[in-house]
Structure 1
Amino acid sequence: MANGKLFIGRRVRELREASKATQAVFAERLGISTSYLNQIENNQRPVSAAVLLALAEKFQVDIASIGGSEADRLLSALSEALADPVFVGVSAGFQELKLVAQNAPSLAHALITCHQAYRRNSEQLASFDDQLIRTNAFAEPTPYEEVRDFFHFVDNYIDELDRAAEHLAKALGVPDRDLGTALADHLEQHHHVRLARAANGERVIRRFDASARVLYLNSYSPASTRSFQMAFQIGALEHRAEIDAIMERARFRTSEAAEICRIGLQNYFAGALMLPYRPFLAAAKELRHDLHLLAMRFGASLEQVAHRLSTLQRPRMKGVPVFFARIDRAGNITKRHSAAKLQFARYGAACPLWNAHQAFETPGRMICQLAETPDGVRYLSVATEITKADGGFGAPHRRYAIALGCEISDAGDFVYEDRLDFANGTAFEPIGVSCRICARMDCIQRAIPPLQSTITIDHDRRSELPYTIC
């Protein structure tokens, strides 16, 4: 959407073709002229409010989502790719890129894929010798990157698995019934699978013996983890056909990516079963997204709750658009999704001014931050440190920070906004996406100069940075 105008020609054309109607017939049903419909489909004119209402009434189109966060995410990825110095001289404006994202998404995806391959090859050339270069090891996206992009571009919402999980949760009485007991009973009664403790010293969270019909769980794992692994096993046993169909539509390049995605889809089902859509959405509104209270109500962990909030993208029943990320101590973003305007960088580390990093310094506390990105959008960000351990004193501990946030316009739906001073403009900390594409020239935490910029060095003067960005 630009300047309040909505150009959705490709979406309207797809809707008309799906209904197997000519332009004349489709225009008549919408109550507009054929010429106006033709102009809409070719993005020569925006849709009016009357046309939107007609689409909603006659074709059950979700007005709230018709603008398409898919196009927004694609536009973000396309803009970042074109910021690379390899495209120096390319002067595509915002409107031009938006038209490409809306009307030629396949072309935009192809360009992003080519740019990914270029960057991998460039990094390979900079890091390895000629012999490794000739192996062409990074010519294609890694399987993990391919799966990450799959979930990114489906808005982190898988409708058929989500609804199946919600239906089963209702049959099991979740969340009113004890979750662990309900899942264990279902496994035994419907699949003849019994639970057993993993052997001492066996470093597994879950192990399924298909021939003996035994699911081994680590008895030292938290109850939320054990419940998640039981839900995961139920998804694997009951929804293989649906998962196979989703993977077939995704058309992954390698079998590795497909198998990684299978795990991701089974994880998705497990989260949706533990935190069924309608009850969880209602509870999130009632409790104003208090992560601790939601975790206690549903027998889940903070990470499971925060991750689930980022998947509430069901048409006509969406939750608050949030961003969610999990970060390790080295600054690597190991999980990410954003239904808000904030899009995480595909390359490089996250902004060091983001409160997610501060969470490691204050374990056990919920760190709240008011932040503003270079485009002027303001956010509420909430971060906390989590520790994962499956053993006693000598067992290794994995530490992460999780961050959840929303745009300021939605902050009233979060309990974390109550003690923050929104009226004080100086309370908003300037953050970016990553240094390589951040437009802030005076940031004292900058790690590298932004792409498509030049630097000058004054040997007789030194400030926070050893260079000046032009």
Structure 2
Amino acid sequence: MSENQRKIFAGARIRHLRQTRKMTQANFAAALGISTSYLNQIENNHRSLSASVILSLFNSFGFDLSELALDESGKIAVDLREILTDPIFADTNIMPQELKIAASNTPNMVRAFLGLYQVFQKTREQLGQLDTTLSESEAPVAPMPYEEVRDYFHYKDNYIDELDRAAEAFARTITRTDRQRYVLLADYLSDAHGIRVVETKSAAEAGSIRRYDPDSQTLHLSATSNAATNLFQMAYQVGLLEQGALIEKLLDEASFHSPSAREVCRMTFANYFAGAVVLPYQEFLEAAADTRHDLDRLAFRFDASREQVCHRLSMLQRPGQKGVPFYFLRIDRAGNITKRHSATSLKFTRFGGSCPLWNVHASFEGHGEILRQLASTPDGLRYVCLAFSKTIPTPEFRKTSRKYAIGLGCEAKYASQLVYADDLDVTDPRRFEPIGTGCRICERSNCRHRSVPPLARDIKVDHNTRNIVPFQVD
């Protein structure tokens, strides 16, 4: 790594810190013991942060040094680069360095551009539906509120400190005996809120996983759900009842663009709280290291499901207490990503399908067994990838069970911390299968599984030769 690559540029974060303290550049510079011109250069990313400035930030303002490693400008730049591969920008020649500068110096403007593109994409898809005489009910467009909430958590590294710590504190109050947490949580709802918890078949038949009746103060849980799901749903109810003030504060700070996005995020915050109750941060972090991230052992120890364990592993981003950085995703049989997060450099496509060579797709062919894959991405990084299928049964013959594929993985440099990599040779580059983000933006030119040409590259067609892929990528 070169000296320039090791320099820390955090202009947007320093400017935000100064503005939230309502300080002028002169006053802020004086507090740091530097000149105003030097501060101005730092805020505009013309100068990097020196060790003395970083120390002054910590001593004078309690600045969390770990935030310097969480600069979201890299994520914004990746999202921006992907969008700029759209053919509508074909005549726009933007250098990679320009993207990095824009993401670092004007992150709010870039986010506004990303949001505008999402609106454009939705409109384009709706027009395409009309053009092919398909009704919206036959080919629904993903609602914008969900995308806005996904982006919020994406740039928060899927970790909300206040909510996570509140859940961890609550979890301690229901884990001090040998009784099962399911029983303890049901008793807590009864004692603290007068809520009766019942498992009913009628809820399952109505398609409900959880239904709360405020008039009778009864929480109905599906009799067909497993214990892990019902434990989670009880914790969700506690989150709504007891964390309302904190959730409202977080929602106000998020400043979503629509009431729908706010309500989606309210639900997501309650889900976050529930997951952090079932899998308390510190205890789970230590157990993950102790079991070397054995998913089934962790699920058994915490009365959780494999999916809950995988999702939580991708959320262990507490400053100063981080776990192994994992990516996590869940896709349905049509290839739609219904959950996604990456604490790694691996990015998921916002539009279009993911790479067919990724083992997460092959897991649909199995019966829940964990598949392993060594994979490398076009940026040269190598990953240990895990995948398995999950089926949610239905109590009716005429209704199809829901089936998902779960993907979890980390960079190969963490392989020694994974029980699943013990017999895998991560030192041999030939063992790693080349995968991409998605055909639309993948730069590999010799892939036999390519479905569509890359948007940012020219193609050639040789009319005298027909290969597996009917075109060549320049």
Assess, with a 3 A threshold, how the Cα gap between structure 1 residues 326 and 129 changes in structure 2: closer, same or farther.
same
Letter in 2 for 1:278: Q
Q: Indicate which of 150, 153, 158 corresponds to 2:152.
A: 150
Deviation at 1:394, TM superposition (A): 7.9
Please say if residues 62 and 316 of structure 1, whose CA atoms lie closer than 8 Å, have aligned partners that are also in contact.
no
Deviation at 1:19, TM superposition (A): 3.8
> 1:292 aligned to 2:302?
no
Assess, with a 3 A threshold, how the Cα gap between structure 1 residues 424 and 115 changes in structure 2: closer, same or farther.
same
Within 5 Å, which residues of 2 pair with 1:194-209? Answer: 194-200=196-202, 201-209=205-213
Deviation at 1:22, TM superposition (A): 4.4
Within 5 Å, which residues of 2 pair with 1:453-464? Answer: 453-464=457-468
Residues in 2 aligned to 1:2 and 1:403: alpha-carbon distance in whole angstroms = 35
Please say if residues 415 and 426 of structure 2, whose CA atoms lie closer than 8 Å, have aligned partners that are also in contact.
no
Q: Deviations over 1:80-133 (max 9, x none)?
A: 111111112322222221121122111101111222222222233333149999
> 1:125 aligned to 2:127?
yes
Q: Deviations over 1:401-458 (max 9, x none)?
A: 1111112222322222211101211111111111100000111111100102222212
Letter in 2 for 1:88: A
> 1:251 aligned to 2:255?
yes
Please say if residues 175 and 298 of structure 1, whose CA atoms lie closer than 8 Å, have aligned partners that are also in contact.
no
Residues in 2 aligned to 1:70 and 1:108: alpha-carbon distance in whole angstroms = 12
Q: Could you say what secondary structure the match of 2:5 adopts?
A: coil
Q: Indicate which of 98, 101, 126 corresponds to 1:99.
A: 101
Question: What is the RMSD of the two structures over their aligned residues, measured on CA atoms?
Answer: 2.5
Within 5 Å, which residues of 2 pair with 1:62-77? Answer: 62-77=64-79
Residues in 2 aligned to 1:378 and 1:12: alpha-carbon distance in whole angstroms = 33
Assess, with a 3 A threshold, how the Cα gap between structure 1 residues 290 and 239 changes in structure 2: closer, same or farther.
same
Residues in 1 aligned to 2:21 and 2:113: alpha-carbon distance in whole angstroms = 31
Residues in 2 aligned to 1:413 and 1:230: alpha-carbon distance in whole angstroms = 33
Within 5 Å, which residues of 2 pair with 1:324-339? Answer: 324-339=328-343
Deviation at 1:229, TM superposition (A): 0.8
Residues in 2 aligned to 1:356 and 1:42: alpha-carbon distance in whole angstroms = 42
Residues in 2 aligned to 1:391 and 1:2: alpha-carbon distance in whole angstroms = 60
Please say if residues 126 and 141 of structure 2, whose CA atoms lie closer than 8 Å, have aligned partners that are also in contact.
no
Q: Could you say what secondary structure the match of 1:352 adopts?
A: coil
Please say if residues 295 and 310 of structure 2, whose CA atoms lie closer than 8 Å, have aligned partners that are also in contact.
yes
Q: Indicate which of 376, 382, 386 corresponds to 1:378.
A: 382
Deviation at 1:244, TM superposition (A): 2.4
Assess, with a 3 A threshold, how the Cα gap between structure 1 residues 176 and 36 changes in structure 2: closer, same or farther.
farther
Assess, with a 3 A threshold, how the Cα gap between structure 1 residues 103 and 141 changes in structure 2: closer, same or farther.
farther
Between 365-374 and 393-402, report the one with greater CA deviation.
393-402
Letter in 2 for 1:100: A
Residues in 2 aligned to 1:132 and 1:432: alpha-carbon distance in whole angstroms = 31
Q: How many residues align?
A: 467
Please say if residues 10 and 41 of structure 1, whose CA atoms lie closer than 8 Å, have aligned partners that are also in contact.
yes
Q: Deviations over 1:31-82 (max 9, x none)?
A: 4444333321221111123332333344333333314342222111111111
> 1:266 aligned to 2:270?
yes
Deviation at 1:375, TM superposition (A): 1.0
Q: Could you say what secondary structure the match of 1:336 adopts?
A: strand
Please say if residues 455 and 469 of structure 1, whose CA atoms lie closer than 8 Å, have aligned partners that are also in contact.
yes
Assess, with a 3 A threshold, how the Cα gap between structure 1 residues 9 and 358 changes in structure 2: closer, same or farther.
same
Residues in 1 aligned to 2:132 and 2:364: alpha-carbon distance in whole angstroms = 40
TM-score by length of 1: 0.92
Please say if residues 388 and 397 of structure 1, whose CA atoms lie closer than 8 Å, have aligned partners that are also in contact.
yes
- Residue identity over aligned pairs, in percent, reads 48
Q: Could you say what secondary structure the match of 1:66 adopts?
A: helix
Residues in 2 aligned to 1:373 and 1:413: alpha-carbon distance in whole angstroms = 21
Please say if residues 437 and 451 of structure 1, whose CA atoms lie closer than 8 Å, have aligned partners that are also in contact.
yes
Letter in 2 for 1:342: L
Please say if residues 218 and 390 of structure 1, whose CA atoms lie closer than 8 Å, have aligned partners that are also in contact.
no
Residue number in structure 1 paired with 2:409:
405
> Tell me, which stretches of 5 or more residues in structure 2 are unaligned?
none
Residues in 2 aligned to 1:192 and 1:9: alpha-carbon distance in whole angstroms = 51
Q: Could you say what secondary structure the match of 1:7 adopts?
A: coil
> Tell me, which stretches of 5 or more residues in structure 1 are unaligned?
none
Within 5 Å, which residues of 2 pair with 1:142-221? Answer: 142-173=144-175, 177-200=179-202, 201-221=205-225
Please say if residues 310 and 337 of structure 1, whose CA atoms lie closer than 8 Å, have aligned partners that are also in contact.
yes
Assess, with a 3 A threshold, how the Cα gap between structure 1 residues 408 and 48 changes in structure 2: closer, same or farther.
farther
Letter in 2 for 1:193: I
Between 60-69 and 357-366, report the one with greater CA deviation.
60-69
Residues in 1 aligned to 2:299 and 2:68: alpha-carbon distance in whole angstroms = 32
Assess, with a 3 A threshold, how the Cα gap between structure 1 residues 335 and 138 changes in structure 2: closer, same or farther.
closer
Residue number in structure 1 paired with 2:84:
82
Q: Could you say what secondary structure the match of 1:244 adopts?
A: helix
Deviation at 1:285, TM superposition (A): 1.6
Deviation at 1:193, TM superposition (A): 0.4
Instruction: List structure 1 runs of 4+ shifted beyond 6 angstroms.
Output: 130-133, 137-140, 392-395
Q: Could you say what secondary structure the match of 1:197 adopts?
A: strand
Assess, with a 3 A threshold, how the Cα gap between structure 1 residues 290 and 166 changes in structure 2: closer, same or farther.
same
Letter in 2 for 1:263: M
Residues in 2 aligned to 1:131 and 1:441: alpha-carbon distance in whole angstroms = 35
Please say if residues 69 and 339 of structure 1, whose CA atoms lie closer than 8 Å, have aligned partners that are also in contact.
no
Deviation at 1:170, TM superposition (A): 1.0
Between 393-402 and 262-271, report the one with greater CA deviation.
393-402
Please say if residues 168 and 281 of structure 2, whose CA atoms lie closer than 8 Å, have aligned partners that are also in contact.
yes
Please say if residues 120 and 138 of structure 1, whose CA atoms lie closer than 8 Å, have aligned partners that are also in contact.
no
Letter in 2 for 1:429: E
Q: Could you say what secondary structure the match of 1:183 adopts?
A: helix
Residue number in structure 1 paired with 2:444:
440
Letter in 1 for 2:375: A
Q: Indicate which of 321, 324, 344 corresponds to 2:325.
A: 321
Residues in 2 aligned to 1:232 and 1:202: alpha-carbon distance in whole angstroms = 20
Residues in 2 aligned to 1:371 and 1:83: alpha-carbon distance in whole angstroms = 24
TM-score by length of 2: 0.92
Q: Could you say what secondary structure the match of 1:115 adopts?
A: helix
Assess, with a 3 A threshold, how the Cα gap between structure 1 residues 404 and 253 changes in structure 2: closer, same or farther.
same
Residues in 1 aligned to 2:60 and 2:415: alpha-carbon distance in whole angstroms = 34
